[in-house]
Structure 1
Amino acid sequence: METTFKTLLVYLFIANLVVNAFDPFSTIYSYFHESCDPKWVQFNATGLQADLKSQLFGQHLASRIILKAVTGFMNNNPQKPLVLSLHGWTGTGKNFASKLIANNIYKEGMDSSFVHLFVSGLHFPDNDKVETYKSQLQHWIRGHVTNCAHSMFIFDEMDKMHPGLIDSIKPFLDYYDKLDGVSYRKAIFIFLSNAGGESITHTTLDFWKSGKDREELELEDVEIPLSLSVFNNKNSGLWHTCLIDKNLVDFFVPFLPLEFRHVVQCAMAEMKARGLSPDPDVAYKVASEFIYFPKADQVFSIKGCKTIKSKLDYYI
């Protein structure tokens, strides 16, 4: 009897170890519920390179900078969060590029609970409440990074954001090991702004007038005038902020004005995304409806590709 009881205790002990080592309910939950582990958060450099090449049209500089910056950051042990500031006119691909980055880091892409989008006009509309916004924003960032170190924060309409609010996130972007026990080094911050678009356009137009191909345009041709334009523009949001003054923005990413051929490519891509056979004739008709400048030469599109979907609906 005593032997049987001891044997039973051994079996119970082993069973307890097995249950603790393999909790089926926990495993099932983590399988279906997004968590901050490699199953849900894993960088795909090959995928990002392919997406930028096949889907982001006319942006050789932005594609190159984004690929190198994100790949280097995700594959190494960063000393600070990655901070990208994307600049250019509406419709040139800034939001879309952010989506491609998210899609190749998070399994759920932009729908991931670790990707956070802030739109200035929506989330921070009242300048009289800047102090309240500061406290809320710092709390949100701290809480989300505590939940997942590989969190991504996208700030749209940075040109409309109060400079004081931007400065309030400065500590999270700096070279700190930890702040109040939390490390922000693996987080990604992406700023989207129309500010600097005029500077980028002037540089691109001058390049075109000199007879050079736009693909010959290098980052050094654009980056310095762009950063100065953003820093000194009172309507930029980043005007005289410490983010620029303290060199916390890793890359100012220029999005060039699109040409007719790029608008055609956008229309073809949208047809393909809808499961349709791309029709060059339809794409040309859609692109022809856009307004181009300079007026005499009709080279660059004023709107870019943002209204492609609605215009394409008219023809399909």
Structure 2
Amino acid sequence: MKATRVYLLLHVLLSVGVLVHTFEPFTTTLVLGVGAALGRTIYNYLHESCDKKWIAFNATGLQVDLEAKLFGQHIASRIILKAVTGFMSNDNPKKPLVLSLHGWTGTGKNFVSQLIADNIYKEGMDSSFVHIFTSELHFPHLSQIDTYKSQLQQWIKGNVSNCAHSMFIFDEMDKMHPGLIDSIKPYLEYYEKVDGVSYRKAIFIFLSNAGGESIIQTTLDFWKAGRDREELELKHLETELSVSVFNNKRSGLWHTSLIDKNLVDFFVPFLPLEYRHVTQCVMAEMEAKGLQPDQNVAVQLARDVLYFPKTERVFSVKGCKTIASKLDFYT
């Protein structure tokens, strides 16, 4: 359908070009104007732009995705849905949305970022308005931190100037040089504009393993006390999590003014995954690969995953991170 519509537009445009030679000057100018307008229509149809055609938040879609695709994260799901929905529904937010996602590897932090992008941008993570920074790739050398600060500021300013609804994802915050992220503090503040640019409609997401130990310990304590996992609430985790991250010297958020000035809207804990969640991940991965979901395969793979503590084998060491690569061996 899309190819057919583009073909028709091109056909009309080419026809206009041919007709130009047969008209008087005044008519030629008119026809050229029509041709230019059609050209812009084709360009806008094919090229992503910062408008409602390409950026439109789907609250229902995000809710469905979180419920059906994110396993074992009842706290994170509630926070993400409410935070993103509230922010995207506000035509005049007072500051950018800043989320800091914390938890052990394989628990769903990157996946949630993808779900958010998929339900805001038509192109999802492939959108030119979604920008991902990985500490070891983009900021590898401590000796160049001043250069990184300047480049990061320029990059964010340039892209928000181009599209107010830009999203910036910072992965591996636990490996980022302390002090680097403070360079963007003015962009996360309540300022109406900074150097003529408003950052209030942008979204900043920080992903980190930092704080994972405190999350695991709290979850483990609940389990040892015989309490249901779903009884865990944000209030049981948030304060200790923010303090842990702030005082972690290995974290890019160590003693950062972003925490000190309360510029992070939510510290989102991702709980360690249990055996039942791993089986759900396997079933979902099989479906994603176009395979018929097989409970026997899911059980077998989930049993072979490493768990801790060693004796009780309660939580998956790597969450669901290695499921995709292991699945080929079991099918």
Query: Shorter-chain TM-score category?
Result: over 0.9
Question: Matches of residues 247-262 of structure 1 in structure 2 within 5 Å?
Answer: 247-262=262-277
Letter in 2 for 1:145: V
Residue number in structure 2 paired with 1:5: none
1:103 pairs with 2:118: yes
Output the CA distance in 2 between the equivalents of 1:14 and 1:290.
70
Residue number in structure 2 paired with 1:24: 38
Give the secondary-structure state (helix, strand or coil) at the position aligned to 2:239: helix
1:201 pairs with 2:220: no
Output the CA distance in 2 between the equivalents of 1:73 and 1:99.
17
Residue number in structure 1 paired with 2:188: 173
Gaps of 5+ in 1: 1-7
Give the secondary-structure state (helix, strand or coil) at the position aligned to 1:154: strand
TM-score using structure 2 length:
0.90
Deviation at 1:235, TM superposition (A): 1.1
More moved, 188-197 vs 162-171: 162-171
Give the secondary-structure state (helix, strand or coil) at the position aligned to 1:117: strand
Give the secondary-structure state (helix, strand or coil) at the position aligned to 2:237: helix
Give the secondary-structure state (helix, strand or coil) at the position aligned to 2:104: coil
Output the CA distance in 2 between the equivalents of 1:63 and 1:104.
14
TM-score using structure 1 length:
0.94
Residue number in structure 2 paired with 1:287: 302
Residue number in structure 1 paired with 2:73: 59
Give the secondary-structure state (helix, strand or coil) at the position aligned to 1:169: helix
1:287-312 Cα distance to aligned partner (Å, 9 max, x none) = 11111112221111110001001110
Give the secondary-structure state (helix, strand or coil) at the position aligned to 1:297: coil
1:176-225 Cα distance to aligned partner (Å, 9 max, x none) = 10111110000000000000000000111111111111111111011011
Residue number in structure 2 paired with 1:83: 98
Letter in 2 for 1:222: L
Fraction of identical pairs, as percent:
74
Decide whether the 8 Å contact of 2:301 with 2:327 is kept in 1.
yes
Decide whether the 8 Å contact of 2:117 with 2:130 is kept in 1.
yes
Deviation at 1:19, TM superposition (A): 3.3
Gaps of 5+ in 2: 1-22
Deviation at 1:237, TM superposition (A): 1.6
Output the CA distance in 1 between the equivalents of 2:28 and 2:146.
57
What's the C-alpha RMSD, in Å, of the aligned pairs? Answer: 1.8
1:164 to 175, 179, 182: 179
Residue number in structure 1 paired with 2:162: 147
1:222 pairs with 2:237: yes
Deviation at 1:276, TM superposition (A): 1.0
Output the CA distance in 2 between the equivalents of 1:135 and 1:146.
16
Count the aligned residue pairs.
Answer: 308
Distance 1:13 1:249, change over 3 A: same
Residue number in structure 2 paired with 1:314: 329
Output the CA distance in 2 between the equivalents of 1:13 and 1:65.
58
Output the CA distance in 1 between the equivalents of 2:267 and 2:31.
56
Runs ≥4 residues deviating over 3 A: 11-20
Give the secondary-structure state (helix, strand or coil) at the position aligned to 1:168: helix
Give the secondary-structure state (helix, strand or coil) at the position aligned to 1:226: helix
Output the CA distance in 1 between the equivalents of 2:179 and 2:315.
35
Output the CA distance in 2 between the equivalents of 1:196 and 1:120.
17
Residue number in structure 1 paired with 2:17: none
1:304 pairs with 2:319: yes
